[in-house]
A and B are shown apart, each in its own frame.
Chain A
Amino acid sequence: AQSVTQLGSHVSVSEGALVLLRCNYSSSVPPYLFWYVQYPNQGLQLLLKYTTGATLVKGINGFEAEFKKSETSFHLTKPSAHMSDAAEYFCAVRALRGGSEKLVFGKGTKLTVNP
């Protein structure tokens, strides 16, 4: 079965500091990996995704993630945090079940950015 584990339900950083949100996955098939962001009272928005090809993936709002097969990780980073980055972030992996594919989400990491 495919699953993701997000390490740390809450992360707090200072404005301008590095953002690092951790995601480890488990998958018996080549993984497709995703990061979504959810602002308060809003739906989820895709930040970036990895399917095949380059292992360093750049997304919106200055975020990037690196697929590391040997470490089964897909950590999300941003060099300099901005107040507007405060939100909840979800890592997701493609799951193949019963001939159908779907996204399986982690429990989320809430990012707080302090002035």
Chain B
Amino acid sequence: EAGVVQSPRYKIIEKKQPVAFWCNPISGHNTLYWYRQNLGQGPELLIRYENEEAVDDSQLPKDRFSAERLKGVDSTLKIQPAELGDSAVYLCASSLEGAVSYEQYFGPGTRLTVT
């Protein structure tokens, strides 16, 4: 079974530029998460989808971040414009259902560097 796929793995951009990350979750998983992991920290949830619906986006900085999950499968996370403080690893995860008792499977992440 294929795991969670993310691309690109690495991205370097200048501040004020836009950037997008893509995630393909495990087949059949209804729930998709985007996390941000700053250096030396644990992951922090940005947004959670149940199928196509964003059910928890309370931690998403909506002035510059946006996300979508079309057809309840793949998802894209966008930052526009990027700031220096956005440098981090962006992790995508998926699970069968949204309750935390269901195991979350993580992708390898996209390491973003903003210069």
- Chain A interface residues toward B at CB < 8 A: 9, 32, 34, 41-46, 49, 51, 90, 92, 94, 97-98, 100-103, 105-108
Contact = CB atoms under 8 A, between A and B. Distances in A.
B2 interface: no
A2 B100 CA distance: 14
A44 B100 contact: no
A105 to B, nearest CB: 3
Interface in B1-15: 4
Contacts, number: 58
A108 B45 contact: no
Interface size class on chain B is 20 to 34
A106 B41 CA distance: 7
Interface of B: 4, 40-45, 48, 55-56, 58, 91, 93, 98-101, 103-109
A102 B91 contact: no
14 contacts: A9-B40, A32-B101, A43-B106, A44-B93, A45-B106, A51-B101, A97-B58, A100-B56, A101-B99, A103-B43, A103-B45, A103-B104, A105-B43, A107-B42
Contacts of B106: 43-45
